[in-house]
Amino acid sequence: MRVALTRSGTARMLFLRGIALTHDVVIGALAMLLSLGLRLGDEVFMLDAEAYLVASLGFGVLVGTVGLGVGLNRGIWRYASLPELISVVKTATISVLLFVFVHFLVVRLQLIPRSTPLITWAFLVVMLAAPRAAYRMFRNHRDTVRPGAKPRQPAKRVILIGANDNADAFLRRISEQTGPNYKVLGIIDERGRRTGRYIRGVPILGTLDRLPAIVRRFEKEGKRPDAVILARSREEFERHAPIEDLIELASGEGLPLLRMSDMLDMRDVSEPVEIRPIRLEDLLGRRPRRLSKDTVSNLIAGRTVLITGGGGSIGSELARQIAALEPARLVIVDASEFLLFEAENDLRRLAPQLDVLALIGNVREAATIERIFASVKPEIVFHAAALKHVPIVEAQPLEGLFTNSIGSRNVVRAAVKAGVRAMVMVSTDKAVNPANVMGATKRLAEMVCQAEDIAAGTEGTRFVTVRFGNVLGSAGSVVPTFEKQLELGGPLTVTHPDIERYFMTIKEACLLVLEAAGQGLQHREERGRIFVLDMGSPVKIADLARDVIRLSGLRPEADVKIVFTGLRPGEKLYEELFDRAETLSPTSVEGLLTAFPRAIEAPLVSRILDEMQRHVEAADTVAALRLLSATVPEFTPGREAARLMGLPEDAVLLTEAGE
C-alpha cells in the first residue's frame, strides 16, 4: 500500500512538473513572437513568418531547458516569492544570451532586429512571473473562502513594536497563510530611525512615546487596535527602553501586550505563527540563568535515572530535560496515577526512542521505594516528591512530616542500599529560618541528606541538596491563581502589601538541580553542601499582581481590584536563601553558590527520625512538633502549630506578631 502511494505521489509530481515545463516553453515562444511582432510590425513579420515561428519555438525550448537547469520549477507555485522571481530573471537572462550567441553563430544576427532580445527579455520576465503570482493569489483566496470551510474570524488589528527583520518576516508570513488572521495597522520603531518609511506597505509611525497618539488616530478612523505585538526579544528591546514602559503604555490604552516567536528560526512556511502573551518570567528582575549542561551530560548520558515526584511541576520538567540528555533509562515515580500518566505520555511524545518506565509509588512507603530501587537499579536519583503548600501542611503537620522528612529518609536509605551513584534532593528557601511546618520538615530532610553525605565518605553515594525560591507557573503557585482570578473578572487576592518572594522559572530551577548534581559529583571531597542559585532581588507579590493585570491590557484598581486578605497560617513576609550562620562559597558556575549549614551526625539523625516516625504513626501531633522544634531550633512555629504544640497564649501572640 505504501509503495503504491509513493508511486502515485511520484507520478503526480512528474505530471505537475511536466505541465510547468510546457508552460515555460509556450511562454518563451510567445515572448519571442510578441517582441518580433512589436518590433517589426505585421507586414514585415509576415514576409518571414515561418522563420520567425521556428526561431520562437526554438527559443521556447531553450527557455524550458534553461529553466530546468536553474531550478525554476522546483519551487511550489502557491508559495512563489522572491527566490522564484530570482529564478525567473536568471532563466530569462541566460536564455536570451544563449539565443543571441547561437543566432550569431548560425546567421550572424540577420533578420532579427538588435533590440528584439531586450524586448523579449522583458516580456519573458513578466510572462513567467505573472502566472505564478496569480496562482498564489488564487490559492490564498480559495483557501480563505473555500465552500464548507468555517468562516474566518474578523482580522485582529494590531500594532507591531520593532521595525526589524522579525516584523518583515511576520508581515510576509501572515500574507501567505490563512491564519492567524492579523491586520497590522502600523509599526512603532522605538529607536525612531525609520519613522515615515514602510515595511511591506505598512507604515512606520513613530517612536514608543507616540503610541497613545497613534491609538487615538486609529480610533478616530474607526480602526481601534486590538493588541500590541512585540517583535523583538526582551533583551533587544531593553537596549532602548525598559519593557515596563511598554507594558504601562499598552495597559494605559487598554491593549493586551503580546509577543511573537522568532520568525527567522522557522523553517517551514506552513508552520503556524506563534503569538503569545508576555509572561511574567519575561519580566523577572534579572535575566534567567543559563547554566552550563556540560558537566551534566556526562552525569546522565547512558545511565539509569529515577525521579520521585516525576508527575509534579518540577519532577516532570526535570524528566523532560533529562530525556534530552540521552539516559539509558528514565524511571518516573509518583503517588498520583493521573500525573504519572500525563508525564509518561509527554515523555513518549518528546523522546519516543527513550526507555521510559512509569511506576506508582509513595515515598512514605519504605518497602515500596526499596523494592522499586532494587528492581530498576538507578544510578542517579532526583528526589522531587514533597508536600509544598504551606497552609495545607500547617493544618496537617503530621502529613508534612511523613512525606517531607520520613519520606526523604526512605529514599535516602533505598539509595544507599541500591548503591546509587548520586541522589539530588529538591529543597526550598522556606527551609531557611522556617516559620512554618512545611519549611521545618524540608530543613529536617536537608539534615538527613547532609548527614548521610558526610557519613558516606568520598566513595559512597553522593547526596546533594538544592535550595531555591518560588517557581513561576508551577502547580498552585501565585501566578496561575492570579490568571484564574483575572478570567473571572477579579479581584486579585494578595495576602499582604509588603509580602515578597524570590522567583525563578521552572526550566531555570531544573537546570539548577541538574547543574548541582554535576558539581556535587565533580567535587566529591566537599560533603554536606547545599546548592543555591543567586536569584537577585526578591519581587513583591502585589507588583506581580499589577503586572498580570497590565499584561492583559487592563488597569490595576481601575479595571481590576487588588484585595489584601492577610497573611495565611505559617506565611512569612520575606523569604531567605541562606541562614546568617551558613558559610557561603561560590562555585565554578557563575550565579551558583553553596552553603555549609549546621549538620548533625548520621546516627543521631537516624534516632530522631525513628522517634519522629513513632509519633507520626501514633498520630501524636504535639510530640512530633516538639521534636521537630528541638531538632530544627531556628523553626519559629506559626499560630496553628504553636497551639498544637501546647505553647502558652503569650507565645502564640508573639508568633502572630512575627517576633
Condensed to tens digits (0 to 9), the pLDDT of residues 117-130 reads 888 888 888 887 77
Beta bridge partners of 596: 583
Mean pLDDT computed over 96-104? 80
Give the domains, in start order, of the chain with CATH numbers: 2-144 (no CATH), 156-278 (3.40.50.720), 294-644 (3.40.50.720)
In this structure, of 17-31, 260-274, 399-413, 603-617, the range with the lowest mean pLDDT score is 260-274
Mean pLDDT computed over 603-619? 94
pLDDT band at 76 (very low <50, low <70, confident <90, very high): low
pLDDT value for 306: 97
Mean pLDDT computed over 43-68? 76
Q: Which residue has the cell 530546468?
A: 68
pLDDT value for 269: 46
Burial of residue 248 (CB within 10 Å: 0-12, 13-18, 19+) is: middle
Q: Of the candidates 580, 564, 573, which has an alpha carbon nearest to the alpha carbon of residue 656?
A: 573
Residue 3 has pLDDT above 50, yes or no: no
Mean pLDDT of the chain: 79
Best mean pLDDT range from 92-101, 299-308, 403-412 = 403-412
In this structure, of 46-50, 223-227, 369-373, 526-530, the range with the lowest mean pLDDT score is 46-50
**pLDDT tens digits, residue range 416-454?**
999 999 999 999 888 888 889 999 999 999 999 999 988
pLDDT value for 113: 74
Query: Which residue would you say has higher pLDDT here, 100 or 288?
Result: 100
Residue 483 has pLDDT above 90, yes or no: no
Residue 609 has pLDDT above 90, yes or no: yes
Residue 142 has pLDDT above 60, yes or no: no
Q: What is the CA radius of gyration of the chain?
A: 35
**pLDDT tens digits, residue range 287-342?**
555 556 666 777 888 999 999 999 998 899 999 989 988 899 999 999 999 999 99
Residue 105 cell numbers, joined: 553563430
pLDDT value for 65: 82
Burial of residue 512 (CB within 10 Å: 0-12, 13-18, 19+) is: buried
DSSP 282-321: GG-SSPPP----HHHHHHHTTSEEEEETTTSHHHHHHHHH
pLDDT value for 398: 95
Region label for 314, one of left (φ > 0), alpha (ψ between -120 and 50) or beta (otherwise): alpha
- State the pairing for strand pair 583-586/470-472: unpaired
Please give the share of the chain, as a percent, with pLDDT higher than 90. Answer: 25
In this structure, of 49-63, 205-219, 262-276, the range with the lowest mean pLDDT score is 262-276
Residue 658 has pLDDT above 50, yes or no: no
What gap in Å lies between CA 165 and CA 199, rounded to an integer? 10
Mean pLDDT computed over 179-192? 79
Residue 276 has pLDDT above 90, yes or no: no
The beta strand positions in 394-536, using DSSP E, are 422-428, 462-468, 470-472, 492-494, 500-501, 503-505, 530-533
Residue type, 402: F
Q: At a CB cut-off of 8 Å and minimum separation 6, what does 98 contact? A: 62, 66
**pLDDT tens digits, residue range 516-564?**
788 777 776 677 778 887 666 777 888 888 888 877 777 888 888 899 9
pLDDT value for 267: 46
- State the pairing for strand pair 583-586/592-596: antiparallel
What gap in Å lies between CA 489 and CA 478, rounded to an integer? 17
Q: Which residues are catalytic?
A: 430
pLDDT value for 11: 61
Please give the share of the chain, as a percent, with pLDDT higher than 70. Answer: 78
